[in-house]
Amino acid sequence: MASELCIAVVGATGAAGQTTLRILEERKFPVRELRAFASERSVGKTVTFRGEPITIRRIEPTAFKGVEIAFCSAGSAQSKEYAPMIVKAGATVIDKSNAFRMDPDVPLVIPEINAHAARRHRGILACPNCTTIVTVMPLKPLHDAGRLTRVIATSFQAVSGAGVNGIAELREQTLAWARGEAMVARHFPHQIAFNLVPAIDRFGPDGYTAEEMKLVNETRKILETPGLPVAPTTVRVPVFTSHSISITAETETKITVGRARDLFARFPGLKLWDDPAQHRYPMPIAVEGQDDCFVGRIREDLSSPNGLSFWVVGDQLRKGAATNAVQIAELLLHS
C-alpha cells in the first residue's frame, strides 16, 4: 500500500467512530485524506480530525472512489448493506459490527493474537465484539502455555458499549437522581443508574443472550478451538467506559499463579496489575483511556486443580473497538 492513504470512517459521529478518529491521530496513522460518513441526518455536519473540520458525506458508491481503507463503525444492518459496496469501490473494509464476524470467509482479528488471519482477507476484515477482545487477550497466553479446556466468563459491561445513547442515559438518570426526580429508562430495558442489568441483547430459546453467544463463538474462532467449552454471562453496569470480565480458565497442563503472572506480563497488549495487599487491581476508572488490557486478582480456582481465576479490564471503545481496528489497518500497511 501507499505510504499515505485515503481513509474513510463510516459512523464517524458515534462513540466508536469518534474514538477511531482520535486513535488514528494518536498512532500517527499515515492519512493523506480522511472522508467521514454517518447517517443521513448527520450529512453536512462536521467532525474534527487533526484539528480540522471534516464535513460528513452521504454514503453512496461514488463517495468511496479512491478510498483505500474504510473503518465501519455502524450497526450490523448498515455494514451488510455498505461494506460490499465499499469493497466494490476498491477499498478494504475493517468492520466493527457483528455483520461478518462468523462468516468463514472473513478473518476475525485481534492483531496480538491472530495477525496471520488478516492475510487471507477478501476485502473485509472483522473486529471481534468488545467483550470478546478484552476476554481473549489474557486467554491466549494461557492457551499457548497449557491448552484451554474450559472458560467461564462473566462480563460487567460499561454503558458506552451501547453507544452514545447508553452514555446519555446513565448521565441523565444520575442527574435526575441527584435532583430527586424520577429516573426514566428509554434506551435500556431497566434503570441503569445504581443498578445492574443481567441481560444484554435478545434472549435465545436456551436462555442465553445474543451478546453471550458472541463471546462463545468469537472466542472459539479467534483461538481456532471450535469445541472449547465457554460458559458466558453478560451484565450491563452503571460505568461509563471500560468492560470488566471475571474469568475462570481451566487448562490441560496446570499453570501456577506465578507462571500466569509471568505469561500475562510478557504478552503484548496486556499489563499486569496484581497486588491485592496494596489494593492494586484493575478497575474501569483506572483503565479508561488506555490501549492495553489490565489483568489482576490472579488466583488458583478452588474448584479445579488446573483452574485459574482472574479479573481483566479493558477500555472497550479503544482496544475493544477503535484501537483494535487501527491495529488491523497497521497490519495491512505491512502486508
Q: Name the residues annotated as catalytic.
A: 130, 243
Distance of alpha carbon 305 from the chain centroid: 31
Closest CA to 248 of 149, 181, 318: 149
Q: Name the H helices within the chain.
A: 15-26, 76-88, 111-114, 130-146, 164-178, 210-223, 257-266, 284-287, 323-333
Residues 199 and 112: their CA atoms lie apart, in Å, by 30
* Residues 324, 111: Cα–Cα separation, whole Å: 7
- Separation CA 319–CA 194 (nearest Å): 26
For residue 168, the SS3 value is helix
Sign of CA dihedral 47, 161, 213, 223: positive
Alpha-carbon distance of 272 to 291, in angstroms, equals 14
* Distance spanning both ends of the chain, measured CA to CA: 8
Q: Which amino acid is at 81?
A: E
- Phi/psi of residue 288, nearest 5 degrees: -50, 130
